[in-house]
């Protein structure tokens, strides 16, 4: 496939690995922000190609992982209503709330349907006027334009049976929160390529400057990740802390204005809680007053019983890059994909899930 296969070339990957070995003169710790990047790194073994001393820690860029337990519990309560068709991306189906997950709710009779696009949820609402269609709008800024478009489309069609359960989050405040932790070891970031395709790079300039960290907007294929790493390491070796774009074929510094206009039309910045990280001010998006009618939280009043997080789950530390999955005492013991304590073990891009699928036996000391 064009614009995909060429960035998976093994020969070029090896050559990049060698240039990195020649480049680095001391240990460095980088964080790749996006869960999709984590998945790719572990799937293709990129971190094993890096010179010793260069550590990649996995960041909080897994919207599935950071959706608060309270939001999940709310989703389950909605999905159990007989009049509701609860639509969601596939990623969310196995994520545990206080108890249960959407798969269990479906097994108990909830009408839970996987959709590929929020626009498909709108189509379902149009086809089923007698039911209430709720879409679980999780995601970072990459997904916000699509979620906004779905609301606009529903409004344009005059649909009264469509609403969003919003759990949208923004990246820059999360990175600030991570950098503010005294125990933070991160010295540079591989920023999320598709988030920046929408938002551009402006938001990252103050972060780079204030904290003295290089930020390289990076893609998702092996060569993208290796080039992004090379650019970040070069900045560190040269004592620079700038925002650069590795993923130039997709990302422009100004981002995608049309997509941002859609976000601004429908959403506003709100405070949000992050599973494992706690409340981060102004770190989320919610429906604004103009589109409040499409907010499932307003449409379905809900007496929220308290949510609980499993106290043994250390997802927060994993999401901040302060704990590797295999270092968690629960990894493979109390916490497995079949019986997860938290989200990163069952998200397709969760660090714990990635280690479980690709590294577990290596972690146990066997040759991979």
Partner 1 sequence: MCLGIPGEVLETHDGAGGMRYGTVRFGGASREVCLEFVPDAVVGDFVIVHVGLALSRISPEDAAEVFGYLEEMETLSDLGAEMGEATGGSGIAGPGGP
Partner 2 sequence: MMAGELVCPVPLPPGGRVLLGHGGGGRLTRDLVEQVFLPAFRNDALAVLHDAAVLDALPAGARLAFTTDAFVVRPMFFPGGDVGTLAVNGTVNDLAMAGARPLYLSLGFILEEGLPLDDLARVVESIRRSAVAAGVAVVAGDTKVVERGRGDGIYITSAGVGVVVARSPVAPAAVREGDAVIVSGPVGQHGIAVLAVRDGLAFTTPIASDCASVAAPALALLDAGLAVHCLRDPTRGGLATVLNEIAAGAGCEIAVHERAVPVTDEVAGACEVLGLDPLYVACEGRFVAFVAPGDADRALALLKARPDTAHAARIGTVRPGRSPGLVTLTTVAGGERVLDLLSGEQLPRIC
> Site mask, partner 2, residues 186-225, x = CB under 8 A?
------------------------------------x---
Per CB under 8 A, which region of 41-49, 211-219, 251-259, 305-313 contacts partner 2?
A: 41-49
Could you identify the residue written with the tokens 């609860």? 86
Cα separation, 139 vs 61, whole angstroms? 9
Q: Does position 296 bind partner 1 by CB under 8 A?
A: no
Q: How many residues bind partner 2 (CB under 8 A)?
A: 53
Q: Does position 126 bind partner 2 by CB under 8 A?
A: no
Q: DSSP letter for 51, please.
A: P
Per CB under 8 A, which region of 59-67, 75-83, 270-278, 279-287 contacts partner 1?
A: 59-67
The nearest distance, CB 329 to partner 2, in angstroms, is 20
Pick the closer one to partner 1 by CB: 171 or 335: 171
Q: Does position 197 bind partner 1 by CB under 8 A?
A: yes
Cα separation, 54 vs 315, whole angstroms? 23
Helix (H) or strand (E) holding 278: strand 278-287
Using CB distances below 5 to 8 A depending on partner kind, what does residue 249 bind out of partner 2, partner 1, none?
Answer: partner 1
Cα separation, 60 vs 94, whole angstroms? 18
Pick the closer one to partner 1 by CB: 134 or 192: 192
Residues in the chain: 368
Q: Does position 129 bind partner 2 by CB under 8 A?
A: no
Q: Which of residues 143-172 bind partner 2 (CB under 8 A)?
A: 143
Q: Does position 220 bind partner 1 by CB under 8 A?
A: yes
Q: Does position 7 bind partner 1 by CB under 8 A?
A: yes
Count other C-beta atoms under 10 Å from residue 206's C-beta: 12
Q: Which of residues 100-119 bind partner 2 (CB under 8 A)?
A: 113-117
Q: Does position 286 bind partner 2 by CB under 8 A?
A: no
Could you identify the residue written with the tokens 């460095």? 28
Write out the DSSP string of 279-348: EEEEEEEEE-GGGGGGBHHHHS----PPP---TT--HHHHHTTSS-GGGSTTBTTTB-SSS-SSSTTTST
Write out the DSSP string of 52-117: TTEEEEEEEE-HHHHS-HHHHHHHHHHHHSTTEEEEE-GGGTT---SS--HHHHHHTT-EEEE-SS
Identified binder of partner 1 from the candidate list 67, 87, 142, 161, rule CB under 8 A: 142
Per CB under 8 A, which region of 58-66, 149-157, 241-249, 283-291 contacts partner 2?
A: 58-66
Task: Answer whether 138's CB lies under 8 Å from 190's CB.
Answer: no
| Nearest partner of 67 among 128, 1, 172, 138, judged by Cα | 138
Pick the closer one to partner 2 by CB: 292 or 368: 368
Q: What is the number of helices (H) and of strands (E) in the chain?
A: 15, 11
Residues that bind partner 1 (CB under 8 A): 1-4, 7, 12, 15-16, 18-19, 22-26, 34-36, 61-63, 89, 116-120, 122-123, 139-143, 145-146, 149, 152-153, 156-157, 192-195, 197-198, 220, 223-224, 227, 230-231, 234, 237-240, 246, 248-252, 256, 258-259, 262
């Amino acid at each position: 496939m064009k614009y995909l296969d060429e960035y998976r070339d093994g020969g070029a990957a090896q050559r990049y690995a060698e240039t990195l070995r020649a480049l680095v003169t001391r240990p460095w710790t980088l964080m790749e922000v996006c869960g999709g990047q984590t998945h790719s790194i572990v799937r293709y073994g990129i971190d094993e190609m890096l010179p010793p001393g260069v550590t990649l820690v996995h960041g909080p860029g897994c919207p599935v992982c950071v959706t608060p337990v309270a939001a999940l519990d709310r989703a389950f309560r909605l999905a159990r209503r007989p009049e509701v068709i609860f639509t969601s991306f596939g990623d969310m189906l196995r994520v545990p709330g206080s108890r249960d997950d959407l798969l269990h709710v479906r097994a108990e009779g909830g009408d839970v349907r996987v959709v590929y696009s929020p626009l498909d949820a709108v189509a379902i609402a149009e086809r089923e006027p007698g039911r209430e269609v709720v879409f679980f709008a999780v995601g970072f800024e990459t997904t916000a334009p699509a979620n906004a478009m779905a609301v606009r489309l529903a409004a344009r069609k005059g649909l009264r049976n469509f609403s969003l359960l919003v759990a949208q989050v923004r990246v820059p405040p999360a990175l600030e929160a991570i950098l503010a932790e005294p125990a933070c070891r991160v010295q540079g970031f591989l920023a999320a390529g598709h988030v920046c395709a929408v938002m551009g790079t402006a938001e990252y300039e103050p972060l780079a400057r204030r904290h003295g960290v290089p930020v390289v907007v990076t893609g998702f294929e092996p060569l993208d990740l290796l080039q992004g790493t090379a650019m970040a390491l070069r900045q560190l070796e040269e004592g620079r802390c700038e925002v650069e774009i590795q993923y130039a074929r997709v990302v422009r510094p100004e981002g995608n204005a049309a997509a941002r206009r859609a976000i601004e039309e429908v959403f506003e910045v709100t405070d949000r809680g992050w599973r494992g990280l706690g409340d981060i001010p102004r770190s989320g998006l919610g429906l604004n007053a103009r589109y409040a009618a499409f907010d499932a939280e307003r449409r379905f009043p809900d007496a929220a019983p308290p949510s609980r997080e499993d106290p043994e789950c250390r997802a927060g530390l994993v999401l901040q890059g302060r704990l590797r999955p295999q270092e968690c005492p629960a990894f493979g013991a109390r916490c497995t994909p079949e019986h997860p304590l938290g989200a990163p073990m069952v998200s397709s891009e969760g660090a714990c899930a990635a280690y479980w699928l690709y590294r577990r036996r290596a972690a146990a000391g066997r040759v991979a």
